[in-house]
Amino acid sequence: MQNAEIARLLTDVADLLEISAGNPFKVRAYRNAARTVADHPDPIAELVSGGEFDITELPGIGGGIAKEITALVETGTLPQRQQLVATLPPGLLDLLRISGLGPKRVKLFHEQLKVNSVADLKDALEKGLIASLPGFGPKLLEKIREGVADTATTAQKRMVLHEAEQYARAIVEYLKAGGGIDEIDVAGSFRRRKETIGDLDIVVTCAPAKAAAVIQRFGKFSEVTQVAAQGDTRATVRLSSGLQVDLRVVEPSCFGAAMQYFTGSQAHNIELRKIAQAKKLKLNEYGVFRGSKCIAGRTEQDVYAALGLDWIPPELRENRGEIALAKAHELPQLVTLEEIRGDLQMHTDASDGKATLAEMIEAARKLGHAYIAITDHSPRTSMAGQTPAEIRAQWKAIDRLNQEMRGFRVLKSVEMDILENGKLDLPDDLLAEADYVVATIHYGLKQSERQLTDRLLAAIESRWVDAIGHPTGRIVPERPSYPLDFDVVAKAAANAKCLLEINGSERLDLPDTLAAAAKGHGVRFVLSTDAHNTRELGFMKFAVAVARRAGLTGADIINTRPLPDFLKGLRRSRNR
């Protein structure tokens, strides 16, 4: 069982307790435990089943919840959740999945309107009962209606790439452990590194005599709740998380063709088939054929070469001009994770992070970074921000640490809020002392497009703002981007030499399409994790994935440079 699934079930308990007016301390305990599990770098299920680790040593997990987690790992069910589901209408959990609703609102509907299911909610909306409750204005009502419509039209929710990767990695490792597999890889939108994943497509080669055993083992993966289809060479299952996973066993001679076909995208593959037809060839998941003879299929490179194209990186396969570039041998040399030398946004327990400054430094050094920026929050971020005095005190501590380290540098930095009135949250004299400043919007997200655009433009104009962090304010999939005239922002950033951030957290912001557009305006970028604990420092790979989907090279990204060149590339180096 993956950490994401354990955390999801613990959160269910917290939500159901809140709906049933449970002890608020118990509600908080389950929420804290869910965060601890979700953030832990190692599989909790393996730690529990190994019996050599006491999970009560983890922050926020007491003896009672530890027993619950142990029971979940051993039996597949969480006892407390089962008890709550037995005493409450089961449809309440479905309501909690609807955008715009949380336990407080679901409890209100349940107690005042007897709404116990999605069908009940739809009926209450149609009768105007929800609109009669205080606090439910037109925008919120429309959001709830859209959420209800989504449950009716979508069989399964798309999963954020970060979470899907846990499942993909676990299934691949599980299948490999069974033996008999020669090659295995994950195709589909996961391989193209899309921000959300509808399902997983796994392609395997093995000896013909081993195919049945591989298929059988796949259906017995611990989190499979339904085997929807099972044949000689393919199977489809659904996991407890709702994720659908398809497995295909193919001949080694057509592994490349299968990977190309099942990776997609559909629009990309349609264009490839047109090229094949023009050459009097046939292209499918088994290979490239001239008549009945297969002329390519063992590798993807062979498939593309047979069509007169350079191999196209999966992240670019969206039919956005990549095929013409491949034909002209002009594909960009996309940035790689190995090129990234530093991480330029992260938080410690001095603001809303979960690890100390020393712990974040140690973890970053282990990852091979040459420099990092500690960007704890400015005062506006309630409950997490630091005063100017606290910021300066942290910077003095960083100066002392830098004197003791060789080959590694911690930049004195801050994540500074752009206030609702367009002003910056910190004075220029403090910002001038920093090594690097990232400015972001956290509040006033419902302002007009003009207001939000002007706020970003004001920050870009500041001589001491080096980068705009998570520029569109989105969080995938919960919160869409705020309204923004992005072309105006991108042009201003390019002219002012202000960086735009690609944030590797679940924000994945900038989105790939906007990053590609910004590059067209001459913008330079910085890739960051926005890590709030040591595990999240691994999110850099997701920032790199967005950059690759945008067609960015190492030259477009300033933190691919050695520290001296990085610092010279900041506009503050010219302002000093």
Give me the DSSP letters along 364-379: HHHTT-SEEEE-PBPT
Query: Measuring CA to CA, which residue among 53, 52, 14 is closest to residue 34?
Result: 14
Looking at mean pLDDT, say which of 16-30, 44-58, 182-196, 383-397 comes out highest. 182-196
Q: Which residues of 340-370 are buried (b: 16+ CB within 10 A; e: fewer)?
A: bbbbbbbbbebbebbbebeebbebbeeeebb
Contacts of 386 (CB under 8 A, 6+ apart): 350, 351, 376, 377, 378, 379, 394, 414
According to DSSP, residue 534 is labeled: S
Over range 440-448, report the average pLDDT. 94
DSSP assignment of 68-124 equals HHHHHHHHSS-HHHHHHHHHS-THHHHHHTSTT--HHHHHHHHHHH---SHHHHHHH
* 530 close to 467: Cβ distance less than 8 angstroms: no
**Do residues 413 and 500 both lie within one domain?**
yes
pLDDT digits (tens, 9 = 90+) for 124-169: 888 889 888 888 888 888 888 887 876 655 445 688 999 999 899 9
- pLDDT category of residue 560 using cuts at 50, 70 and 90: very high
Burial of 217 (0-12, 13-18, 19+ CB in 10 A): middle
**Do residues 273 and 355 both lie within one domain?**
no
Residue 76 has pLDDT above 80, yes or no: no
**Do residues 353 and 502 both lie within one domain?**
yes
- pLDDT category of residue 175 using cuts at 50, 70 and 90: very high
pLDDT digits (tens, 9 = 90+) for 381-396: 877 889 999 999 999 9
**Count of Cβ atoms closer than 10 Å to residue 481 Cβ:** 19
**Do residues 181 and 281 both lie within one domain?**
no
Predicted pLDDT of residue 252: 95
Among 81-90, 125-134, 407-416, whose mean pLDDT is lowest?
Answer: 81-90
Q: Total structural domains in the chain?
A: 4
Last residue in a domain, options 250, 273, 300: 250
According to DSSP, residue 127 is labeled: T
Measured in whole angstroms, the distance separating CA 224 from the mean position of its chain's CA atoms is: 23
**Do residues 238 and 259 both lie within one domain?**
no
Residue that the structure tokens 């491949």 belong to: 326
Q: What is the C-alpha to C-alpha distance for residues 551 and 317, in angstroms, rounded to an integer?
A: 11
- Domain with residue 221: its CATH number is 3.30.460.10
* 202 close to 258: Cβ distance less than 8 angstroms: no
* 395 close to 435: Cβ distance less than 8 angstroms: no
Residue that the structure tokens 């040459």 belong to: 370
**Count of Cβ atoms closer than 10 Å to residue 4 Cβ:** 18
Residue 413 has pLDDT above 80, yes or no: yes
Residue 574 has pLDDT above 80, yes or no: no
Last residue in a domain, options 183, 218, 250: 250
Of 558 and 120, which is predicted with more confidence? Answer: 558
Of 278 and 40, which is predicted with more confidence? Answer: 278
Over range 216-239, report the average pLDDT. 92
Q: Is 331 helix (H, G, I), strand (E, B) or coil?
A: coil
Predicted pLDDT of residue 323: 97
Helix 63-75 / helix 3-19 crossing angle, nearest 10 deg: 120
Q: What is the C-alpha to C-alpha distance for residues 362 and 136, in angstroms, rounded to an integer?
A: 48
- Domain with residue 405: its CATH number is 3.20.20.140
Query: Measuring CA to CA, which residue among 248, 237, 100, 218 is closest to residue 156?
Result: 237
Residue 373 has pLDDT above 80, yes or no: yes
**Do residues 129 and 178 both lie within one domain?**
no
Say what percent of the chain tops pLDDT 90.
Answer: 67
Cis status of the peptide bond prior to 427, with omega within 30 of 0? no
- Domain with residue 268: its CATH number is 3.30.210.10
Angle at 372 between CA 428 and CA 464, to 5 degrees: 15
**Do residues 291 and 342 both lie within one domain?**
no
* 527 close to 340: Cβ distance less than 8 angstroms: yes
**Do residues 378 and 513 both lie within one domain?**
yes
Give whole-number Cα distances, 451 to 275, 448, 465, in Å.
Answer: 47, 5, 19
Whether 503 maps to a domain, the answer reads yes
Over range 300-313, report the average pLDDT. 98
Whether 332 maps to a domain, the answer reads no
Written as six digits, the tokens of 495 are: 């002219």
Last residue in a domain, options 280, 298, 327: 327
Predicted pLDDT of residue 298: 97
Over range 350-373, report the average pLDDT. 94
Predicted pLDDT of residue 94: 81
- Domain with residue 20: its CATH number is 1.10.150.110
**Do residues 348 and 321 both lie within one domain?**
no
Residue 158, CB-side half-sphere exposure with 13 Å CA sphere: 14
Q: What is the C-alpha to C-alpha distance for residues 521 and 523, in angstroms, rounded to an integer?
A: 6
Q: Is 525 helix (H, G, I), strand (E, B) or coil?
A: strand
**Do residues 300 and 395 both lie within one domain?**
no
Report CA Rg, the chain: 26
Q: For residue 282, what are the β-bridge partners? A: 289
* Whole-number average pLDDT of the chain: 92
213: containing domain: 159-250
What pTM was estimated for this model as a whole? 0.83
- pLDDT category of residue 314 using cuts at 50, 70 and 90: very high
Diameter of the chain measured on Cα atoms: 76
- pLDDT category of residue 357 using cuts at 50, 70 and 90: very high
Q: What is the C-alpha to C-alpha distance for residues 16 and 415, in angstroms, rounded to an integer?
A: 35
Residue 228 has pLDDT above 50, yes or no: yes
Whether 14 maps to a domain, the answer reads yes
Tell which phi-psi region holds residue 287, choosing left (phi > 0), alpha (psi between -120 and 50) or beta: left
Residue 235, CB-side half-sphere exposure with 13 Å CA sphere: 20
Contacts 24+ apart (CB under 8 A), 137-146: 140/100, 143/99, 143/100, 144/98, 144/99, 144/100, 144/101, 146/99
Query: Measuring CA to CA, which residue among 6, 67, 70, 9 is closest to residue 39?
Result: 6
* 466 close to 500: Cβ distance less than 8 angstroms: no
Q: What is the C-alpha to C-alpha distance for residues 124 and 177, in angstroms, rounded to an integer?
A: 51
* 511 close to 505: Cβ distance less than 8 angstroms: no
**Do residues 536 and 418 both lie within one domain?**
yes
Cis status of the peptide bond prior to 510, with omega within 30 of 0? yes
**Do residues 215 and 342 both lie within one domain?**
no
Say what percent of the chain tops pLDDT 70.
Answer: 98
Whether 398 maps to a domain, the answer reads yes
Of 39 and 305, which is predicted with more confidence? Answer: 305
